[in-house]
Amino acid sequence: MKNADNSRRAFVRFLAGSPLFLAAGIDGKSLHRLITGSTRDQGEAFDLIDQVSQDRQISSPGEALDIFDFEPVAKAKIPPAHWGYLITGTDDDGTIKANRDGYAKWSLRPRRLVDWSHLDTSATLLGHKYDTPIVICPLGSQKAFHSEGELAVARAAKAKNHLQVLSTVATTSIEDVIAARGAPVWWQLYHTSDWNQTRAMIKRAEAAGAPAVVFTVDLIGGSNRETMFREAMNDTRTCTNCHSGGQPRPGVSGRVDDRDNRRKPAFANPAPGAPIPEAGPPTWDYVKRIRDTTSMKVFVKGILTPEDAELAIQHGASGIFVSNHGGRADNSLRATVECLPDIVKQARGRLVIELDGGVRRGTDIFKALALGANAVGIGRPYIWGLGSFGQEGVEAVMMILRKELEIVMKQCGTTSVRGISPAYLASR
């Protein structure tokens, strides 16, 4: 611990003496206070370091060397309140960091002299073959990041043949997204307090052709999105066209918010019929109720324990998303990838398992697949691409991740996604 403290002090002294930081008006004392402070303080410190050390931003998708090159471009183009909605976690955002750090708990075991000339990166989910196991996860209000929103993402998914999962709080209808995708998308469900309305949304998605409904359970209790609210304070726009009261507040709560649904087609036209109020928050019987309501396969999103994976099986789920909502649900400080092995062991092949949370590299995808995931999802990264360059940016992000996955597959001597196993990992 003493050595770590000494290294930190040396690092701060080095940064404080940099002419780049002095020119930017950042003094050493302020930087030291941030780096030695809370998780949020440290995040601010490294944001400053990124800003100062960034020589230039890419001007086209083709210039990107990795997906991180899109983040500063997106931040510059997306309004502050919308950016806060995208980047926020819960409390001090510690679980966002934990998700990233989790992948470092495993190292790779490369194998040599394997003929990988016929590399197969495809994955089959619910009988449909996709070019890779990389899933475009549901993320709401995408027109807050680019004028074409979910349509641009759907067209990118079509171009690269990726599974797309559409959010309940999307700013584009499921019918229009499926038309742009040219194939069915899965539909993510936030329940409402009125079963009549929830049932109507489920039946609408089914009628549109969605093969799966993904019931999200990790935000039922809400979340404390401090970063989102702090960023919104920096947004001085008046946004009466989108938000009641004119204050730019996308994703006001961690749950479905009924105050202003003009930009949410799933809620914009309430279903006819008398309300059927819920008696309380959903329990596991709710999963069975969904299953009995629709012909779509039912997935449960937000599972982090083997006990809940077993309950999902018992109540009729066809699959689960091992997910903590990208660190924006609860502040568990536990990476989703750390939860995965025990869940896979419990499931014993009885569930389709998707893993998301902190995925930023091809090596992350490979590790999740090796630990037993059938598919691996991304959220914020494709929005960096969307906010930067629209459809082209999303396509570039997906292409970079696929290229990185292909490289690590070749280096480890795995010729297909199905051949990736725990034998290619070592615990650190």
pLDDT > 70 in the chain, percent: 86
CA-atom Rg of the chain in angstroms: 22
pTM of the predicted model as reported, rounded to 2 decimal places: 0.86
Residue 14 has pLDDT above 70, yes or no: no
Mean pLDDT of 83-110: 96
What is the per-residue pLDDT for 5? 57
Residue 270's pLDDT band, with cuts at 50, 70 and 90, is: confident
Answer yes or no: are the C-beta atoms of 144 and 85 closer than 8 Å: yes
Catalytically annotated residues: 325
Residue 212 has pLDDT above 80, yes or no: yes
Residue found by looking up tokens 């074409």 in the block:
148
What is the average pLDDT value for the chain, to the nearest integer?
90
Mean pLDDT of 96-113: 98
Mean pLDDT of 42-51: 69
Report which of 181, 66, 121 is spatially closest to residue 375, judged by C-alpha positions: 121
Mean pLDDT of 392-408: 98
CATH 3.20.20.70 boundaries in the chain: 100-427
Residue 134's pLDDT band, with cuts at 50, 70 and 90, is: very high
What is the per-residue pLDDT for 254? 47
* Answer CATH for 100-427 from 1.10.287.3510, 3.30.365.10, 3.40.50.1110, 3.20.20.70: 3.20.20.70
Which of 100 and 232 is assigned the larger pLDDT? 100
What is the per-residue pLDDT for 85? 92
Which of 414 and 239 is assigned the larger pLDDT? 414
Which of 19 and 125 is assigned the larger pLDDT? 125
Residue 128 has pLDDT above 90, yes or no: yes
Task: Return the HEC string of the chain.
Answer: CHHHHHHHHHHHHHHHCCHHHHHCCCCHHHHHHHHCCCHHHHHHHHHHHHHHHCCCCCCCHHHCCCHHHHHHHHHHHCCHHHHHHHHCCCCCCHHHHHHHHHHHHEEECCCCCCCCCCCECCEEECCEEECCCEEECCCCCHHHCCCCHHHHHHHHHHHHCCCEEECCCCCCCHHHHHHHHCCCCEEEECCCCEHHHHHHHHHHHHHHCCCEEEEECCCCCCCCCHHHHHHHCCCCCCCCCCCHHHCCCCCCCCCCCCCCCCCCHHHHCCCCCCCCECCCCCCHHHHHHHHHHCCCEEEEEEECCHHHHHHHHHCCCCEEEECCHHHCCCCCCCCHHHHHHHHHHHHCCCCEEEEECCCCCHHHHHHHHHCCCCEEEECHHHHHHHHHHCHHHHHHHHHHHHHHHHHHHHHHCCCEHHHCCHHHEEEC
Q: Which two tokens stand for residue 418?
A: 């199905």
Residue 147 has pLDDT above 90, yes or no: yes
CA distance 329 to 321: 14
Residue 2's pLDDT band, with cuts at 50, 70 and 90, is: low
Residue 263's pLDDT band, with cuts at 50, 70 and 90, is: confident
Mean pLDDT of 258-270: 76
Among the listed ranges 18-22, 140-144, 171-175, 267-271, which one has the minimum average pLDDT value? 18-22
What is the per-residue pLDDT for 56? 81
Q: What is the largest CA-CA distance in the chain?
A: 68
What is the per-residue pLDDT for 372? 98
Residue 307's pLDDT band, with cuts at 50, 70 and 90, is: very high
Please write the tens of the pLDDT for every residue from 57-81.
999 999 999 999 999 999 999 999 9
Residue 17 has pLDDT above 60, yes or no: no
Instruction: Give the C-alpha distances (Å, rounded to integers) separating 401 from 59, 136, 174, 407.
Output: 20, 12, 26, 10
